[in-house]
Amino acid sequence: MTEALLYPLRFDPICQYRLWGGRRLGDWLQASLPGDGPIGEAWMLSDRDEQPSRVADGPLKGQTVAELMQRWPRLMLGHFAGQFQRFPLLVKFLDVHEMLSVQVHPPDNRAELIPKGETGKTEGWVVLEADPGSRIYAGLKSGVTAADLRALSKRTVNNCLASFTPLRGQSVLIEAGTVHSLGDGVVVLEVQENSDVTFRLYDWEHIDPTTGHPRPLQMEQALACVNFAQGVIGPVVPVVEPMQSIERERLLHCSHFQLWRIQSASPFAVGAAYAPRVLVCVEGAGWVEYDGKDFAMEKGTVMLLPAAVGTCRFRPDGSITLLEIAMPEHP
């Protein structure tokens, strides 16, 4: 096995119908969306049995992330290879045209609430677009009780949940156990633990047009997850990391992932030795240089740099804004 078997990888997007979604993701995917209904999510990197990402181009075209992980765990994950059986992060674009349900995800230490084969779910958002009336709800106001959450309604939600009007470029960390929602015209990049466990507390009186009925709530499981001491969650204050000729800010940092925003018109380094990285282009265009080849990126491109790829040179075509996602510094 040689490291040359792997290269910077793009995957075919997996578009997901969501009743709260819109049609904006076509602009980010540089492609027409399927059908004419609401598309709420585009999964850009998914190692999940029910929705596996497949390599979009190159010698490995059509291969799933799971197949690559099984064949080359160390070349994919580097020094994280012994820690994870599947790729541990799920990366998506979300177009939340209406309001997402008020929901909560379980932490990793609540095994009784997590189906076999799943994990807890901490997630983070970077706001890509936001309408003037958009809203993010995150965390509880002081004194809110389980009884208050059982009685959530359009009339009471603002009394119980902290919220703010999101702005393009802001980031928010939603730790597992945090009550949250967002929507009314916001598009975000979401990075999360590789889990699909969500418990709904309230769904804004939505009627699912596919069934003609409200979607089910999972009140008891949700309340068992809620961190009532969480308090108000607001936008993360970026941490500027001084670098010559580029602007690099750390937007998200937790025990599951880190995310930086890089803005530059000059070449800069991406990737890391012995660890995978995920790149997301949110503005501009450019190329990842690896093994004597150029791998193009433009607005909306999500690219996985397997651990075997290591550190590469990124060459912008003019000015670029790039997000770089890493696993924790210490496995």
Average pLDDT in the chain: 95
- Cα gap 17→105, rounded to integer Å: 21
Question: How many helices and strands in the chain, by DSSP H and E?
Answer: 6, 22
How many C-beta neighbours within 10 Å does residue 1 have? 10
Q: Distance between alpha carbon 162 and the CA centroid of its chain, in Å?
A: 22
The architecture in CATH of the region 3-225 reads Sandwich (2.60)
- Cα gap 268→288, rounded to integer Å: 10
Q: In the β-sheet with 39-45, what is the strand arrangement from edge to edge? A: 14-22, 39-45, 89-96, 186-193, 123-130, 171-174
- Cα gap 280→282, rounded to integer Å: 6
On the question of pLDDT at 136 being above 50, the answer is yes
- Cα gap 253→325, rounded to integer Å: 10
Who's near 211: CB < 8 A, 6+ residues apart?
none
Secondary structure element (H or E) that encloses residue 256, with its range: none
Whose CA is closest to 185, among 270, 309, 101, 100? Answer: 100
Contact 156, 204 (CB under 8 A): no
Q: Please state the rounded mean pLDDT for residues 225-249.
A: 93
Whose CA is closest to 49, among 37, 72, 35, 67? Answer: 67
Fold type of domain 239-326: Jelly Rolls (2.60.120)
Q: Please state the rounded mean pLDDT for residues 113-118.
A: 91
The pTM of this model reads 0.96
Contact 302, 280 (CB under 8 A): yes
- Cα gap 150→157, rounded to integer Å: 11
The CA-CA-CA angle for residues 258, 45, 48, to 5°, reads 110
On the question of pLDDT at 3 being above 60, the answer is no
30-34, 40-44, 221-225, 280-284: the lowest-pLDDT one:
30-34
Question: Which two tokens mark 186?
Answer: 């916001």
Residues of the chain with CATH 2.60.120.10: 3-225, 239-326
Q: Distance between alpha carbon 257 and the CA centroid of its chain, in Å?
A: 10
Buried-state track 215-231, b at ≥16 Cβ within 10 A, e below 16: eebbbebbbbbbeeebe
Q: Render pLDDT for 180-209 as a digit per residue (tens, 0 to 9).
A: 999 999 999 999 999 999 999 999 999 999
pLDDT for residue 2: 47
Q: Could you give the 3-state DSSP secondary structure of residue 271?
A: coil
On the question of pLDDT at 329 being above 80, the answer is no
- Cα gap 122→198, rounded to integer Å: 11
pLDDT for residue 328: 79
Per the model's pLDDT, the better-predicted residue between 1 and 9 turns out to be 9
